[in-house]
Amino acid sequence: MVAVTIGPAARTAVAPGELLCPAAGRGDRLAEALRHGDLKAIRFAPGQSLRAPDDQWDVELYDLARDPGEEYDLAAARPAQADALVKLMRRSWAPVYPRKPFGVTLEVVGGGPEFTVTATLANGSARPWTAARLILDVPSGWVVHARDAATAARLEPGERLTVRWRVTRPQVSTATSLTCRGTARHEDDELTYTATTALGRPHVTSQPGP
């Protein structure tokens, strides 16, 4: 059994275990198709939404063993089989597709004049990155001490680079946010990701009197 959502809609015969590919002929209507044994069902949405009620979809059914060219729609003659394949399509839906962490995340722990900033650059892609680096941008006069290496020669898919900094603000500061940049390379491509986090209320320390 194979199920796939496609668009624009397609009409193509496939062997068991092969996915369907988009093809011209049905405009921009969203469609999904499923093959189960020799039977192939295709249903076309009334528009671009998968949430449309089932009775608004157009369903076609083909017996690929006898009709590999999909010339004879059997949906009206075999409604029970068409309905069964539509139910299989619905059960194959995955409402949420988990995604690996990607890009830069930034977190501030602590308050007052000293606090810790933690940043992570995550390679959620399917390709390795090289020359990975995290850079914390702070206002002039702030003191930053890195507690971890801020670079990695290579990040494989799914790997992360995490850096912690100890940050000290000057006595007088009105900054309300910090930004971190993550950079890396893939072949000739330069990759850059940024994240910004709020610092809460500005830290203002009055100068001692004379």
140, amino acid identity: S
CB-based burial of residue 174 (10 Å sphere; 0-12 exposed, 13-18 middle, 19+ buried)?
exposed
Residue 92 has pLDDT above 80, yes or no: no
- Is 50 exceeded by the pLDDT of residue 86? yes
Confidence bin at 51 (pLDDT 50/70/90): confident
Report pLDDT digits (tens) over 138-185.
888 899 999 999 999 999 999 999 999 999 988 777 878 889 999 999
pTM of the model: 0.52
Q: How confident is the model at residue 99 (pLDDT cuts 50, 70, 90)?
A: low
Closest CA to 127 of 189, 178, 176: 189
**Burial of 128 (C-beta count, 10 Å sphere; 0-12/13-18/19+):** middle
